[in-house]
Amino acid sequence: MHDDRNLVEARLERVLRERLRPAVHPVSTPLTVEIWSAPGEPVPVAEGLAAPTQPITPGTPWGAPWGTSWFKVTGAVPAEWAGRTVEAVLDLGFTPRTPGFQCEGLVYRPDGTPVKGVHPRNTYVRVGSPAAGGEQVHWHIEAASNPDIHSGDAPFQPTTKGDLATAGEAPQYLLGEMRLAILDETVWNLVLDFEVLGELMAELPLEGARRWEVLRSVSRALDALDLQDIAGTAQAARDELTGVLAAPADPAAHHISAVGHAHIDSAWLWPLRETVRKVARTASNMTALLDDDPDFVFAMSQAQQFAWIKEHRPEVYARVRKAVADGRFVPVGGMWVESDTNMPGSEAMARQFVHGKRFFLDEFGIEDDEVWLPDTFGFAAGLPQIIKAAGASRLLTQKISWSRTNSFPHHTFWWEGIDGSRIFTHFPPVDTYNCEMLGQQVQHAARNFKEKGVATCSLAPTGFGDGGGGTTREMVAKAARLRDLNGSPTVEWETPAAFFAKAQAEYPDPAVWVGELYLELHRATLTTQAQTKRGNRHSESLLTEAELWAATAALRTGHPYPYEDLDRIWKTVLLHQFHDILPGSSIAWVHREARETYARLAAELNDIIGAAQCALAGDASGGTELVFNPAPHSRAGVPAGGACEQSTADQAVVPEPREKGGYVLDNGQLRVVIDARGLVVSAYDIAAGRESIAPGQAANLLQLHPDLPNEWDAWDVDAFYRNTGSDLTDVTGLTAEGTAVRVERAFGSSRVTQLLSVPTDAKRLDIRTEVDWHETERLLKLAFPLDVKADRYASETQFGHVYRPTHQNTSWEWAKFEACNHRFVHVDEPGWGAAVVNDSTYGHDVTRSVRNDSGTTTTVRASLLRAPRYPDPETDQGVHRFRHALVPGATIGDAVREGYRVNLPERRVAGAVTEVVPLVALDHEGVVVSAVKLADDRSGDLVVRLYEAHGGRAHVTLRVEGAAAGGAVPADLLERPIADAELPVWNEDGFALDLRPFEIVTLRVTRS
């Protein structure tokens, strides 16, 4: 037989494009459209419905950037359409690009009842099948004219449209056609038949009979279709396809569990206020689709987004609640938002689950076992035990498939964290969280699945996402055809829980991956938008303090505990840890608001802290000055979590001038030499008798690199940035300023001022850096070349630390050229080590080199600032402040202690008492208290969370002072007692506990 494959395939493509898809709505009549554009921000629904309107016709420009327009759409169904399926086709001026990145709308009835959302790939609103003509149609559309910032012809280009203040007023869109139309369901189904088979053909092997069987069936169907009478012959064409569509799948075919999905970024290329509306539009769409198809199941994560619907669109929320109760609209993830997991601190990561799971429990009586993070930029090694401590045991993500260097070896596996906890983890091999049920996608999932031979199923999150939209009726129809189709994987709508149960049952002992899930992409999100990152770290520290002092004051003095305020502030901080806010990858509007929010929260938290400390200190006229230490380690005579009258903290040695220029700082433990360039050329550990700085090199060295990644400007730093760079060694000022050495530099359009000091009582060099930054597409690093032979280094993560190699033996190690740390990086060789600690930076690199003397230099560099121009062209411009410290001779324990010290500074309060005894105290340096608070259920119980921080075993006694402790029970993160848990042993000293390396323990202490 002649090979006419290309001829038939091209014929099918043209017939679909030019004849069949237009024939889905064969007859239409225009609707009358009127418009009112709201001045300023969006208005309440009632105001939009009642607003005065004026006529508008197709082709008319509308919609200033970030504006809201209300369209009133009216018409009547023609009499001759009686008994036909009628729907409106509403085109706001859509382009065919991805939904969620342009204009979109929510349709309402005149009484304010939401109907469904409309976007470029979902423009219909069903009218029904009127028994007689003349039925009146009257709808209102709340339309958002959001600018298309990302998905145009030239992505990653700087734009001023990312902030309302700079976006201008020019209309963004031309109104499309608004019409009533007959839906020819036979033609619509024929289109889906042809699309599914055409997509299947393209994926089948040429040498296989099935491809040719499908081709011949399609050819016969095209012959049966009269292009001059499509409506009259569409059924005949469908009949020709019946046999090939009915052929069952191979019994060994891969099985795909489809889950309706609309990954909605809580902020990204739109502000938070717009996400509130995106969620309402999507939820309206999905509840409508659930009504239309009994097999469809939809899953939505992020408790914050459910809370937004509840607060702002109660009518939509009522429909969501009903669908949740029916088991078909499934809350997943158990987190407040789909957060970044690299940068949130220990307690913040725990609270993501506390607040997320508690919301789902309170609202729906549902507790998730599945953590749902499809788009997060890598996963910290401490996360598995946090997930388990929150009462979950499964994780889904697909983002690691974006890695550019190495292909991850598993799709279903155990993920083991730093303490040994394991989480059953699945990466959908479809390699997208926006699956459209395209033939190429489902076939890719089957081919790509790495567990072939031991497992048979995978999950496919199906629907338009990022900007929302969700699953379409076309995707549902395709899934129905793929349910049992020869040559294709089988597809079935299932909940995430049903999928995981099936996957775990068939593959109970999968391979194990130990340690972090590092994304070999988007590494610059650890540095971009430094003020957002500083605001996050500062907020986390203030919350730790607020809970500690408020709990202490409540139990000691009866001071009211601010339950509502702390709950609200925590949720706000957690929201801003969303994986496009904290990583710095959102538009200017988002980060401007984030800076304002963090400043407001800091003021509130400082008020809470101040009130609690005043209650503890007593009358301010009492004549004493108390030093409060919020850190989990004692310092300068002040106990951890307590206060006393005297402290030598904050005292530092006076700089001594050098003959060669520069200064010396010497406290008898550490001797630091600062040369005439303001660089640290020596940091001599006097007790150990060894130098910290590598021979011939200098620390506190600012280095400037060009920084223009190939794409994803705010997200990426590409390895070639290291090929060129310059050391900033010129000084414009070098002076002694009290107990500090002041270093001033100027470069480009920017200036930097540093204050270097050494305390009298610690082996530590403190560095305060202020940068007035006005560079673009540059990366600023702070370098510490250390005379240490370290093959690996420790980097703090949640509830512990993770080790990474300093060498680049393999492509896996090479790819980690920029990584995340929290408060410290530690390097060592047997007998001696050093730490670099920080108060707000996350990105860093650690490299090694061998000198001419055969010694090894290990260089630790903190990433301070970037200047990408997309999506925020003013990223990082302005003044930034950083605190770092170099700690020579540091053990891991020293690194932990100094990291807390720099992030939780002391406070001085006037009062009448001479001391505040810590509410809780530990007798083991390796165990750290991460939270002291009152139980969220307002029972008055005390909640103490602690963890082993050094990576070893610990026997520790927890004392609760002056709180009349009646007993203690182990609890999960939600503060629920753990059934069958071994109770801590009570003795005369307190509660005795045994901890394994990095173990988290939450104790609920009752009051007698």
* Catalytic machinery residues: 375
Structural tokens at position 337: 């938002």
The CA-based angle 142-143-146, given to 5 degrees, is 140
What is the SS3 assignment for 926? coil
Q: Is-contact 58 177, C-beta < 8 A?
A: yes
Residue 112: CB atoms within 10 Å: 13
Query: For residue 985, what is the enclosing H or E element?
Result: strand 985-987
Concatenate the DSSP letters of all residues of 533-578 into one string: HHHHHHHHHHHHHHHHHHHHHHHHH-PPP-HHHHHHHHHHHHHTTB
Q: Is-contact 707 779, C-beta < 8 A?
A: yes
Alpha-helical regions (H) of 709-776: none
Q: Is-contact 794 826, C-beta < 8 A?
A: yes
How many whole angstroms separate alpha carbon 492 and alpha carbon 991? 52
From 539, 527, 519, 535, select the one nearest 585 (Cα to Cα): 527
Q: Is-contact 329 367, C-beta < 8 A?
A: no
Residue 977: CB atoms within 10 Å: 11
Q: Is-contact 143 67, C-beta < 8 A?
A: no
Please, what's the b/e burial string for 315-327 (b: 16 or more CB within 10 A of its CB; e: otherwise)?
Answer: ebbebbbebbeee
Q: Is-contact 162 872, C-beta < 8 A?
A: yes
The CA-based angle 357-361-366, given to 5 degrees, is 95
The single-letter code of the amino acid at 166 is: T
How many whole angstroms separate alpha carbon 676 and alpha carbon 672? 13
How many whole angstroms separate alpha carbon 882 and alpha carbon 901? 14
Query: For residue 7, what is the enclosing H or E element?
Result: helix 5-15
Could you say which DSSP state residue 122 is in? B
Residues β-bridged to residue 948: 927
Residues β-bridged to residue 865: 780
Structural tokens at position 244: 């090939």
